[in-house]
Structure 1
Amino acid sequence: MADLILHHYPNSPFSEKIRLIMGYKQLAWKSVVIPALMPKPDVVALTGGYRKTPFLQVGADIYCDSALIADVLEHLQPAPSLYPEPGKGLARIIAQWADSTLFWAAMAHNLGPKGAAHMFAGGPPEAARAFGEDRKAMSAGMVRLRPADAAAAYKSYLRRLSDMLDEQPFLLGQVPCIADFSAYHSLWFTRVRTPVVADILAHTPAVIDWIDRMSAIGQGTMEKFDAASAIALAAAAQPMEPGHGLLRDSTFQDEHGIPLGSRVTVTAESFGPEPTEGELIAATRTHYTLSRTDDRAGKVHVHFPRIGYVLKAVAPA
């Protein structure tokens, strides 16, 4: 099995979700720290356009989006499971809510004027402006909550999480599941990265105790790595054939009338509008896989979850 290489940066909430899953599954992984803002030439060499954080590299296979990465890690290391029975469907639904609705409310609160001032304190004014412009470009067309509205929603969501913890240590029982990891990362950002606005957590002490339990899981065994080495490793490897890698489902599910072998793009539905273009070699009930070739990375397979992503055929030239 090739090394697990996580391309991430320290302040990324979704990266914290995956780092903690690595710890839960006691995995060893290599860390490539990538820029938080564009341009990201080393990222694009591997993904073909996708620039959200994190992504996971296994040889010449690139897995995009934390939801898909969690599935990959589950296939690789089934125990302890992120999707324990009998509630795995409920866990996935809560995780999807946490990665979207909860996340955007939390981050609008976290990066309001007070939190943003803390994040960029001591840095040049242009750093804050560059961050704002970068995230504005990534969220073009999205409806964003204002900080006051976000705080009200966030408080309600925290109370609901607290209710789930009344008689159990984790959201759905005695052990953590994907719902816990997905709910945790936004709250981690509040508490660790923007502590000046973390008083919002004080009203739900059960949630604070749960955050402590989650944090104690740790992040597995990490080894520093660099982008140039990761790209060279991809170039020297061969991507895994569909159905024989870490995404075992291979049955073609056609919802678009786009046959395998077509030139296509895959783009996030909302946040992060940059498309990845390639040859469609898998479209299953759970994921899309594109084959593409890069001057530096060679032939790579780039994988996306089906939910949350848009598949389109490329019009002939």
Structure 2
Amino acid sequence: MVDIILHHYETSPYAEKIRVAFGIKGLAWSSVEIPRIMPKPDLMPLTGGYRKTPVLQIGADIFCDTQRILREIDALDPEPPLNPHPGVGDALAWWAEKAMFTPSVIVGFAHIADQLPEDFKQDRAKFSGRNFDPAAMKAALPYQLDQLRAHFGWLDRALADGRKFLLGEQAGTPDLAAYHCVWFVQRNAGKSAAPLGEFSRLLAWAERMAAIGHGRRSELSSRRALEIAKAATPA
């Protein structure tokens, strides 16, 4: 097995998606902690300017975007497959991420908006081209909670037949896509924060997802990751 390096930071929901994927596979991997905001001096030389989180490194090969990273993880270690139900699994994962991520982030940030440092707000505003406005997030909270309530309700009903995960007995890409949204709300607003407290099956599923863990993690410096990339030959 090749050495797997993940460039990430702890509070990133997209990084949590990949960390749990490592847990599903039981993989060993090296963790490189990167800054939440720019500058990211040891990441930019690897990615050619791509600033998002996370980034997967295999020697001199760099993979950006979590969908691409998940495909690479499956290629490296095919069993168990992350998407044992191609087609329906892809569609469910796409829906979960596209429908739930934005309201989950707004709900999560609305609960901690007053704690966010000014440089973080400025960084996100510059990157998105929109104001990072805590007051607007708080004002939008009732609407965003209603959005999540509908989506969380669908997920809860999908679990009504007693299945452990969204498509059966094994966690896969739909679970990862849904879980990183739930995880962000729970991390910032509380384990049973509204509207999660209304859905007991979804909460039990989230506990099962958390119990998967992150595989076998070790720490690596960003400088060492750069040295590994320089010494390696791209695939």
- Provide TM-score, normalisation by structure 1: 0.68
CA distance in 1, matches of 2:92, 2:123: 29
Say which of 147, 153, 157 aligns to 2:151: 157
RMSD (Å), alpha carbons:
1.9
What is the SS of the residue equivalent to 1:35? coil
Letter in 1 for 2:109: L
Look up the match of 1:130: 119
Gaps of at least 5 residues in structure 2 are none
For the structure 1 residues 139 and 94, does the alpha-carbon distance in structure 2 shift closer, same or farther, using more than 3 Å as the test? farther
Q: In structure 1, list runs of 5 or more residues that go unmatched.
A: 121-126, 241-317
| Equivalence for 1:107 | 105
**Matches of 2:43 and 2:97, distance apart in 1:** 22
How far apart are the structure 1 equivalents of 2:191 and 2:78?
38
Equivalent of residue 208 in structure 2, options 204, 213, 216: 213
Matched-pair contact (CA < 8 Å) for 1:14–1:54: yes
Residue 207 of structure 1 and its aligned partner are, at CA, apart by 0.4
Structure 2 residue 184 is the aligned partner of structure 1 residue 179? no
Identity %: 38
Distance across 1 between alignment mates of 2:58 and 2:205: 32
Q: Secondary structure at the match of 2:194?
A: helix
Alpha-carbon deviations, 1:111-147, whole Å to 9, x = none? Answer: 11x3323xx2xxxxxx5222122112222269x9833
Q: Which residue of 2 aligns with 1:224?
A: 219
Q: Quick check: 2:109–2:188 contact (8 Å CA) kept in 1?
A: no
Amino acid at match of 2:154: R
Is 1:30–2:10 an aligned residue pair? no
Q: Name the residue aligned to 1:275.
A: none
Structure that is richer in helix per residue: 2
Offset at 1:192? 2.4
Q: Which has the higher contact order (CA 8 A, sep 6+)?
A: 2
The number of equivalent residue pairs is 228
Corresponding position of 1:124:
none
